[in-house]
Structure 1
Amino acid sequence: MTSDDSTENGYPEPRQNHQLLGHEAVEKVIVDAWNGGRMHHAWLLCGPRGVGKATLAYRMARFVLSQGGENAGGGLFNDKPTSLFVSPEDPVFRRIAGGGHGDLKVVERLYDEKKKRLQGEITVDNVRAVGGFMSKTSAEGGWRIVIVDAADELNRNAANAILKVLEEPPSNAMMILIAHQPGKLLPTIRSRCRRLNLGTLEDQTVTSLLAQYCPDMATDDLYALAGLADGSIGRALQLHDVGGLELYTQLVQLLSGLPELDVTALHKFAERFSPADRDEAFVTVTALLNWWLARMIRFAATGSAPREVVDGELPAMQRMAAAQPLDQWLEVWEKITDLMSATRGLHLDRKQAILNAFFLLEETIRN
């Protein structure tokens, strides 16, 4: 999720977000570690994109930095905190929200001015200062904290630089690593961190957050978008911004017509993604098609019907699952995934890629 006190979309960025829903058990682990004087020097927050890992990382940082010079465990006679909550009115909260706290450093991919997009990885140049930052005396007599968002985007040299810091951790210094795919991390990095896994959010939680961030959205659309988000509020908000629910509804309408493909409607749909500025929409629609096919294949393999996000999904899945054996659909899924990936990577005709994907589905059902 992203914003200042609000971004152009009105969603709070993790550094400005004061609430964390759906991960109370994970938060309790951290609070208990603090209260027991067992605050680890390195934490690895794992889970799917958009479920709240970065929000938790900043929540941890605010909490620890708001304790001043106290060590973990707080002091013999102090009340023990029961959560990591720090009021948005707290000076520490405000300074972190504004990116101006001297004892917090954030490592993330930088923006490439030439290519007008984020760099593909975090390089060693981005992390050179981490060791020196953590070994300095705290500017405010307390802790020094580094957040790496995300650690699985570190290149090899950058990862080795982070590992060196983890091998010799300074006192009263903490590193919080966020990982969408922790398997990509060096095993030696994983072994030096206390790992916490954040699972997907309940639909009810995603719906509640959507209602908060998108108050003008119709109730039915809130529920549908929550189902489409697959337990990720970040994914839900991204889909909302690009009209993902509308794209998905049209996608399902085309799939529901198979094997009698409405070629006119298909051409009109695919034409939407031809302009050069429609790359994000193309990425979204190909991801939605991939997701729909994955659910259909899972249904074919298990017989367990998925929740319908929009009307007509299940009958279409039933027809396709019955038309060909599972291994045939797996092959088709891989072909479509490769086609869409090549289309983006090689800047091929996006409209033609979508047409070819649907023609392949139509041919597979008919044969």
Structure 2
Amino acid sequence: MAETELPEPDRVEGAPHPRHTPRLFGHQAAEAAFLDAARSGRLHHGWLISGPRGVGKATFAWRIARHLLAGTPDMEVPADHPVARRMAALSEPRLFLLRRGANATGSALSADIRVDEVRKLKSWLTMSAADGGHRVAIIDTADDMASASANAILKLLEEPPPRVTLLLISHQPSGLLPTIRSRCRELRLPALRAEAMRDALTQAGAVVDDPLSLAELGGGSVGEAVRLLNLDGLEAYQTLVDLMGTLPRLDRARALALAESAAGRGAEARFDLIVGLIDRFLARLARAGTLGTTPPEAARHEADVIARLAPTPRAALKWAELQQTLGARARKGRAVNLDPAALLMDMILKIDGMAAELAQR
């Protein structure tokens, strides 16, 4: 299979690629900070754009690149601008996109950004820009770099070429080499609030009836919200909350129905969805019990269920411990190909057991 036939590793399924996403919502402070540096002549050669997955980091990087290469006074570059058109077509000679490429056989995407991909970037950097202007390289994501690739990028950051800006995108900057982080200026993007989530999803072509629930359940991530919409995640979470409302006297018939909905051929995405929703429900229980306040509801009657199951910090600690335990069990179960329905039922029974234990104290 040719590399051009492979899916783009930096694109969320069901949403346009960030290079086709013109506007950025909810991150005015980060844009203002970058523009202030650019206008004052203090444009750093390396920028680390960090934050939770799916909040708009890549969209921000592409906006920066369009601004620098088009030479506009602000971040807004018209879609019909020659630079914008070439970037959309991945044909802008002053832009380099470093991302995961094909594996050694060309049959699938590589698991990481291999060092031979970085060598292409270094070769590109040795060539002068045709007009002597600015050049930009986007690394999406720096988290994907293999060890040799990270060391090669570090050398570029230590001895940056003139008039080149490196934009590194990272979901987990703590996992990067400390020396890479120290040689970049970091701009951290927070999780999106409901209004910004609605606007971003509308731009992506999604129909949004309940942006608040999506913002809550998706952790403020547009990418996760798109996945939830594609998999009917809000409906699945409502089913889960309704089931948790029967604790500590679990409605086993409903629990079995939920577990079996993720079994069978082709149900892998459904299984991953439900495991993820269980994890989020337990996290919300733990957080609510610790803070003493319930979060905005992501499903009907969720606040009542959370308040009843996690009334104290002590209960919150128990739920947090169970979240960690069940997360590890789910990862191990998937690794050894346990029956999905049995694994999910076991997780639900463990939750029921914890609810019963806390109810007795």
**TM-score > 0.5 by shorter chain:** yes
| CA displacement at 1:205 relative to structure 2 | 0.9
Give me the whole-angstrom Cα distance separating, in 2, the residues matched to 1:207 and 1:246. 18
Give me the whole-angstrom Cα distance separating, in 1, the residues matched to 2:76 and 2:13. 26
Question: Relative to structure 1, is the Cα distance of residues 235 and 216 closer, same or farther in structure 2, using a 3 angstrom cutoff?
Answer: closer
Query: Which residue of the partner structure matches residue 331 of structure 2?
Result: 341
Q: How does 1:172-321 map to 2 (within 5 A)?
A: 172-214=163-205, 216-217=207-208, 219=209, 221-321=210-310
Question: Relative to structure 1, is the Cα distance of residues 327 and 202 closer, same or farther in structure 2, using a 3 angstrom cutoff?
Answer: closer
| CA displacement at 1:55 relative to structure 2 | 0.5
Which stretches in structure 1 are left out of the alignment for 5+ residues? 68-79
Give me the whole-angstrom Cα distance separating, in 2, the residues matched to 1:132 and 1:115. 22
User: Structure 2: which amino acid aligns with 1:56?
Assistant: F
| CA displacement at 1:23 relative to structure 2 | 1.2
User: Structure 2: which amino acid aligns with 1:152?
Assistant: D
**Structure 2 residue 356 is the aligned partner of structure 1 residue 363:** no
Question: Relative to structure 1, is the Cα distance of residues 45 and 123 closer, same or farther in structure 2, using a 3 angstrom cutoff?
Answer: same
**Structure 2 residue 106 is the aligned partner of structure 1 residue 102:** no
| CA displacement at 1:238 relative to structure 2 | 1.6
Give me the whole-angstrom Cα distance separating, in 1, the residues matched to 2:346 and 2:285. 19
Question: Relative to structure 1, is the Cα distance of residues 211 and 146 closer, same or farther in structure 2, using a 3 angstrom cutoff?
Answer: closer
Give me the whole-angstrom Cα distance separating, in 2, the residues matched to 1:249 and 1:333. 19
User: Structure 2: which amino acid aligns with 1:170?
Assistant: P
Aligned length: 348
Give me the whole-angstrom Cα distance separating, in 2, the residues matched to 1:304 and 1:132. 55
Which stretches in structure 2 are left out of the alignment for 5+ residues? 1-6
Query: Which residue of the partner structure matches residue 352 of structure 1?
Result: 342
| CA displacement at 1:355 relative to structure 2 | 0.1
Question: Relative to structure 1, is the Cα distance of residues 143 and 254 closer, same or farther in structure 2, using a 3 angstrom cutoff?
Answer: same
Q: 51, 55, 58: which is aligned to 1:51?
A: 55
SS of the aligned residue for 1:38 comes to coil
Contact 1:45 1:53 in 2 (8 A): yes
Query: Which residue of the partner structure matches residue 131 of structure 1?
Result: 122
Query: Which residue of the partner structure matches residue 40 of structure 2?
Result: 36
| CA displacement at 1:144 relative to structure 2 | 2.1
SS of the aligned residue for 2:266 comes to helix
SS of the aligned residue for 2:310 comes to helix
| CA displacement at 1:126 relative to structure 2 | 2.0
Q: CA deviation digits over 1:139-162, x for unaligned, max 9?
A: 343122211111122121110011
Query: Which residue of the partner structure matches residue 113 of structure 2?
Result: 122
Contact 1:134 1:145 in 2 (8 A): no
TM-score, normalization by structure 2: 0.89
Give me the whole-angstrom Cα distance separating, in 1, the residues matched to 2:261 and 2:102. 28
Contact 2:26 2:193 in 1 (8 A): yes
Question: Relative to structure 1, is the Cα distance of residues 212 and 37 closer, same or farther in structure 2, using a 3 angstrom cutoff?
Answer: closer
User: Structure 2: which amino acid aligns with 1:270?
Assistant: A
Question: Relative to structure 1, is the Cα distance of residues 7 and 119 closer, same or farther in structure 2, using a 3 angstrom cutoff?
Answer: closer
| CA displacement at 1:122 relative to structure 2 | 1.7
Give me the whole-angstrom Cα distance separating, in 2, the residues matched to 1:250 and 1:289. 11
355-364 vs 275-284, which deviates more? 275-284
| CA displacement at 1:7 relative to structure 2 | 9.5
Give me the whole-angstrom Cα distance separating, in 1, the residues matched to 2:347 and 2:12. 36
Question: Relative to structure 1, is the Cα distance of residues 318 and 264 closer, same or farther in structure 2, using a 3 angstrom cutoff?
Answer: same
144-153 vs 325-334, which deviates more? 325-334
Give me the whole-angstrom Cα distance separating, in 1, the residues matched to 2:13 and 2:286. 38
Give me the whole-angstrom Cα distance separating, in 1, the residues matched to 2:302 and 2:67. 45
Contact 1:211 1:222 in 2 (8 A): no
- CA-atom RMSD in angstroms: 2.4
Identity %: 36
172-181 vs 338-347, which deviates more? 338-347
Contact 2:262 2:340 in 1 (8 A): yes
Question: Relative to structure 1, is the Cα distance of residues 234 and 7 closer, same or farther in structure 2, using a 3 angstrom cutoff?
Answer: closer
Give me the whole-angstrom Cα distance separating, in 2, the residues matched to 1:264 and 1:117. 41
SS of the aligned residue for 2:133 comes to coil
